[in-house]
Amino acid sequence: MTGYTQKYICKNGETSFFSETPMEDISALNTKVVSLINTEDGSLAVKMNIIDFEFPNKLMQEHFNENYLESEKYPKSVFSGKILEKIDFSKDGKHKVTGQGNIVIHGQAQKVNLEGTLTVNGDQLILEAAYLIKPEDYNIEIPSLVITKIAKEISVKSKFVYNKLS
């Protein structure tokens, strides 16, 4: 809708990942992800602290932060981009959307296209997306000793519930 500008914020979004191999499954959840959407231009931003990922196994969490993602050196991951589809945010409904932009993980930026759904429900927006991340694309080194325990592609899911930013 032309002239209808509104910004939405999500302060406690969720991003999880899952690595499945015959040797071991690894999963983690971050429930402190912040995201913004601008309905006028479709811009979308997501920011998370790497250290906020929680694992069922504390030793895995320690290795993830110290050895793989080096969260002291690279504390944040960000996505900045746009929703490509034109959505009428004044009408309730569920829409398939594509987010296009840059994601930075481990200090490395990559152009990505993320597929998902955006639900408009009154004054609330819900964005859900699923995508794959390859550790090698972000210069995340996997020692040969544990290479069979970590998938070449990590499945990532995000869910953000937005409210109007006043």
**Which among 96, 160, 98 is positioned nearest to 124, based on CA atoms?**
160
**What are the φ/ψ torsions at residue 62 (nearest 5 degrees)?**
-65, -45
**CA gap 60, 24 in Å, rounded:** 11
Range of weakest confidence among 21-30, 45-54, 90-99: 21-30
Q: What are the residue boundaries of the structural domains of the chain, listed by start?
A: 7-164
Average pLDDT over the chain, rounded to an integer: 92
What is the average pLDDT across 23-44?
A: 94
pLDDT(133) > 70 = yes
Give the DSSP per-residue string, 57-123.
SHHHHHHIIIIIS-TTTS-EEEEEEEE-S---TTS-EEEEEEEEEEEEETTEEEEEEEEEEEEEETT
**CA gap 96, 73 in Å, rounded:** 36
Q: What is the pLDDT of residues 79-124, one digit of tens each?
A: 999 999 999 998 999 999 999 999 999 999 999 999 999 999 999 9
pLDDT(3) > 50 = no
pLDDT confidence bin for 147, thresholds 50/70/90:
confident
Homologous superfamily, domain 7-164: Lipid/polyisoprenoid-binding, YceI-like (2.40.128.110)
Please report the pLDDT score of residue 1 as a whole number: 40
pLDDT confidence bin for 149, thresholds 50/70/90:
confident
pLDDT(60) > 80 = yes
**CA gap 96, 56 in Å, rounded:** 32
What is the average pLDDT across 140-166?
A: 87
DSSP code for 144: T
